[in-house]
A and B are shown apart, each in its own frame.
Chain A
Amino acid sequence: MKQRLLYLLPLAGFLAIAGYFAYGLTLNPQELPSALIDKPAPTFELAPLDDRTPGLATADLAGEPVALVNFFASWCVPCRAEHPILTRLAEVENVPLYGIAYKDEIADSIGFLNELGNPYDRIGVDQDGRAAIEFGVYGVPETYVIDRDGHIRFRHAGALTRQIIERDIMPLIEELRK
């Protein structure tokens, strides 16, 4: 009998893994610690989406007292949800906002921005998700706060909410602008 139980082990192992997968499908990425906090943003160089907005590379991030990098995709519903908040943040607070179009068809990204408006000062196209991997992006939308030296100071995975902006992002922006 003991022997027979041993033969159940592979099945038990598989069920555990399958359980994790099922759980993984329901994941809702929230605030994540990032290994890159206070480190320079990774090196990347992305082509522009169209000729209206320039592309994005590492060198563009530094220089401003504070800048935001936002990974977005047209197929991502939370990106739509955070869009008005992001737009407000960029326009009212006058923060340079850089977008990275993550794993998306060009036409879809353009359509997305035509429909909702384009809040971004620069947009890089990251169709294969390489820049996202360099940043350690967990899923879209994801937002990074970058300081004057091009270092990452804050990361938020998931849609931005007013609460996160008031609690985490605005104080950081004030601090960096001093």
Chain B
Amino acid sequence: MIVEFGHFALILALVVAIGQSVLPMVGAARRDVRLAAFGRQAAHAQFALLGLSFAALTYAFVTSDFSVALVVSNSHSLKPMLYKISGVWGNHEGSMLLWVLILAAFGSAVAAFGRNLPESLKSRVIGVQGMIGVGFLLFIVLTSNPFERMLPAPLDGRDLNPLLQDPGLAFHPPFLYLGYVGLSVAFSFAVAALIEGKVDAAWARWVRPWTLAAWSSLTLGIALGSWWAYYELGWGGWWFWDPVENASFMPWLAATALLHSAIVVEKRDALKSWTVLLAIIAFSLSLMGTFIVRSGVLTSVHAFAVDPERGVFILILLGIAVGGSLALYAWRAPDLQPGGLFRPISREGGLLINNLFLAVACATVLLGTLYPLIAEAVADEKISVGPPFFNATFIPLMIPLIILMAAGPMMGWKRAGISGLLHRLRAALVATAAAALVVLFVAETDAIAAALGVAAGVWVLAGVTTDLVHRCRSREGTLGAGLNRLFNLPRSVWGTALGHAGVAIVVMGITVDSLMSTDIIAAAEPGDRFELAGRTLVYEGVEPKMGPNYMSERGVISVYKGDEKIAELDPERRFYPVQGMTTTEAAIRSTVFEDLYVVIGEQDEQGRRTVRLHHNPLVPWLWFGTIIMVLGGVLSLSDRRLRVGAPIRSKKATTGKTEGGAPPAGAQPEAGD
């Protein structure tokens, strides 16, 4: 019964979404308050209905209701509870339901928190959210019903793919979707603004928090996925430039650009039509990611619903949403009022260059991802583009971006002087040069590349520190007063500092790991010793172990430094009988500066076992750096919310006439366009 309720709520949500996509739009055009109110209620109702629907599906998984086809193919009664729940979204149908649930949650949040938004803008945003909802709900109801029954019900399920039974992956999709779908709000704002024909500082202030929230979630989601690939796939790699990884990375790059260009719109009223375009592109790339993953158009590790019918459906959706919004852009954007002028060397100029490089980087990734398709269409050649292409194109694009990252936040609006900037950054320059020299001397291989990467990281960290110190240098010059100012800096300043510092740490981690990691692959007998990065690793043997829904061979590898035993690592090979699948569980010893990463393989005829021992320096910095970036995003968000939530209403939204001064919060009560 509960399952049928869930299905019914899903269909009802579709009906509500249809109303939500039409009536508030009419209301905004006719200035009808009742229709606008309907839009808000519909957004809440859609969220509530999808919440019920999702709860019903979760209930079916938790209680192992094997009369539901989806539960049969993705769950098993012996599976631990965490994976019963994560099984809800560990498949195509359930993940689409989670997708629309999050979409509805964002729609409802706009309706609830947007109290001081102009009524017509809000109605239109809610209307556009409704339209996206209609598209995806139709997709689910028509092609991917998660509530389909299977009668007669089998005794037990076929279990979730064991690779997906992992805490990192349990939370990877929800965060990723929060990010993807969060960008829908920026998209809806962009479309609504194009319909209204007006983009101003207030608009940018509204878009920023949603983009920040989406960006933080997306960052976390991508990192969780990468972390999972690192320890679960057992290759010791964390990024493969796989089409599906790229599909999540492109919206991230676009969202990062949007985050920065929206600042320019907010403070200086410039770059308006570019920002609107970025908002459209960021979400379009999210939609494209959905298409790539689910249509099977590109072969990838992740593709899990290879079904041409679904592919065609999503392509049509993509055509309507992206084609429609870009057509609207082509029609309306030329009429947007151009805003403030600025010199090339200024904060705006810096942010513009940031956007340029991020956009080109995003286009490069897009090209690399789609190139196999394009090459085949144009030249009838079948090729695949691998990491060499991305490394050769993406890294050079990141270098100027990183150089700018340290200096940008210190530049003044409108115009800035290069010499003053260099003077202020002299300590940072010295630190960077010193770091580069140290690496040049210490590194045994690839010294130049390593020095470049580490210097880039140190440069940004030093730049961030210089900026913070400069901002809180007080007249009295006492340490106490300085510290006081440091902690009273606006949270958005801290957000920027942490965001940039996180990137710097990740860059250093990537550089050092990709250039200096070492590994040993050998067939080992118990007692064999291996020398790796100054440590001695001894393979002790393998013992059997039982898990709740798997059998395991647990290897024991002791780690010695000199004669002292510093750790014992126990990599596993798990066999999941229900799916007949073996997974490798790497054992990792993480310290601040390195990972020791070991995996065991199958036994050969002579009774020896394949062991792979990796030394991955600075890999933990990838995860530290990401966490710091996300913290920066959240901190900045908390600052924004204070301002955005302030119920001050001014008659006329001022457009940032003072340098760095925030225009008053709130917006015009009803835009009279």
B contact face: mostly helix, strand, loop, or mixed: helix
**Residue A112, interface by CB 8 Å:** no
Query: Do the beta carbons of B373 and A20 come within 8 Å of each other?
Result: yes
Contacts of B575 in A (CB 8 A): 47
**Residue B673, interface by CB 8 Å:** no
Contact A138:B604 (CB < 8 A) given known A10-B281, A14-B323, A103-B306:
no
B307 to A, closest residue via Cβ: A75
Contact A7:B301 (CB < 8 A) given known A18-B318, A25-B312:
no
With beta carbons under 8 angstroms apart, the residue of B242, B297, B300, B326 that contacts A10 is B326
- What string of 1s and 0s marks CB contacts (under 8 Å) between B354-377 and chain A? 000000000000100010011011
With beta carbons under 8 angstroms apart, the residue of B315, B327, B329 that contacts A25 is B315
Contacts of B311 in A (CB 8 A): 25
- What string of 1s and 0s marks CB contacts (under 8 Å) between B279-300 and chain A? 0110010001001000101111
Q: List residues 66-115 of chain A with CB under 8 A from any CB of chain B.
A: 75, 103, 105-107
Residue of A11, A22, A23, A106 with highest tally of chain B CB at under 10 A = A11
CA distance A33 to B384 in the complex (A): 11
**Residue B536, interface by CB 8 Å:** no
Contact A25:B580 (CB < 8 A) given known A10-B277, A106-B158, A128-B163:
no
- What string of 1s and 0s marks CB contacts (under 8 Å) between B212-245 and chain A? 0000000000000000000001000000001000
**Residue A59, interface by CB 8 Å:** yes
**Residue A61, interface by CB 8 Å:** no
CA distance A3 to B336 in the complex (A): 12
Query: Do the beta carbons of B602 and A57 come within 8 Å of each other?
Result: yes
CA distance A105 to B69 in the complex (A): 13
Query: Do the beta carbons of A10 and B158 come within 8 Å of each other?
Result: no
Question: How many residues from B make CB contacts under 8 Å with A?
Answer: 51
Query: Do the beta carbons of B327 and A3 come within 8 Å of each other?
Result: no
Query: Do the beta carbons of A133 and B301 come within 8 Å of each other?
Result: yes
Query: Do the beta carbons of B301 and A11 come within 8 Å of each other?
Result: no
B304 to A, closest residue via Cβ: A103
**Residue B73, interface by CB 8 Å:** yes
Contact A107:B158 (CB < 8 A) given known A10-B326, A10-B329, A22-B315:
yes
A59 to B, closest residue via Cβ: B604
A130 to B, closest residue via Cβ: B301
Query: Do the beta carbons of B73 and A105 come within 8 Å of each other?
Result: yes
Query: Do the beta carbons of B315 and A45 come within 8 Å of each other?
Result: no
With beta carbons under 8 angstroms apart, the residue of A15, A25, A128 that contacts B323 is A15
**Residue A145, interface by CB 8 Å:** no
With beta carbons under 8 angstroms apart, the residue of B315, B330, B376, B601 that contacts A7 is B330
**Residue B30, interface by CB 8 Å:** no
CA distance A127 to B165 in the complex (A): 14
Contact A7:B329 (CB < 8 A) given known A21-B315, A25-B308:
yes
**Residue B544, interface by CB 8 Å:** no
A76 to B, closest residue via Cβ: B306
Q: List residues 1-40 of chain A with CB under 8 A from any CB of chain B.
A: 3-4, 7-8, 10-11, 14-15, 17-18, 20-25, 27, 29, 32-33, 35
Query: Do the beta carbons of A32 and B382 come within 8 Å of each other?
Result: yes
**Residue B322, interface by CB 8 Å:** yes
Q: Output the least CB separation between A145 and chain B (Å).
A: 18
With beta carbons under 8 angstroms apart, the residue of B370, B382, B601, B602 that contacts A33 is B382
CA distance A50 to B291 in the complex (A): 34
Query: Do the beta carbons of B323 and A11 come within 8 Å of each other?
Result: yes
**Residue B579, interface by CB 8 Å:** yes
With beta carbons under 8 angstroms apart, the residue of A20, A33, A49, A75 that contacts B377 is A20
Q: List residues 257-289 of chain B with CB under 8 A from any CB of chain A.
A: 273, 277, 280-281, 284, 288
A126 to B, closest residue via Cβ: B581
CA distance A3 to B273 in the complex (A): 12
Q: Output the least CB separation between A100 and chain B (Å).
A: 13
Contacts of B242 in A (CB 8 A): 133
Query: Do the beta carbons of A8 and B330 come within 8 Å of each other?
Result: yes
Contacts of A47 in B (CB 8 A): 575, 580-582
Contacts of A59 in B (CB 8 A): 604
**Residue B161, interface by CB 8 Å:** yes
With beta carbons under 8 angstroms apart, the residue of A24, A127, A132 that contacts B373 is A24
Contacts of A45 in B (CB 8 A): 582, 601-602
Contact A25:B370 (CB < 8 A) given known A11-B326, A14-B326, A50-B580:
no
Residue of B299, B319, B377 with highest tally of chain A CB at under 10 A = B299
Q: Output the least CB separation between A23 and chain B (Å).
A: 5
**Residue A159, interface by CB 8 Å:** no
Contacts of B303 in A (CB 8 A): 103, 129
**Residue B661, interface by CB 8 Å:** no
**Residue A152, interface by CB 8 Å:** no
CA distance A32 to B376 in the complex (A): 11
A-B contacts, 17 of them at CB < 8 A, read: A4-B334, A10-B329, A10-B330, A21-B297, A21-B318, A24-B373, A25-B312, A25-B315, A47-B582, A75-B306, A103-B306, A125-B580, A128-B163, A129-B301, A130-B301, A133-B300, A139-B299
Which 9 residue pairs across A and B have the least CB separation, nearest first? A11-B326, A24-B297, A8-B330, A7-B330, A47-B582, A32-B382, A106-B580, A24-B373, A10-B326
**A10-B281, A129-B300, A133-B242 known; 19 other A-B pairs, CB under 8 Å?**
A4-B334, A7-B329, A7-B333, A8-B330, A10-B280, A11-B327, A14-B326, A21-B291, A21-B297, A25-B312, A25-B315, A27-B376, A45-B582, A47-B575, A105-B73, A106-B579, A106-B580, A130-B301, A138-B382
B-side residues, CB < 8 A to A, are 73, 158, 161, 163, 233, 242, 273, 277, 280-281, 284, 288, 291, 295, 297-301, 303, 306, 308, 311-312, 315, 318-319, 322-323, 326-327, 329-330, 333-334, 366, 370, 373-374, 376-377, 382, 384, 575, 579-582, 601-602, 604
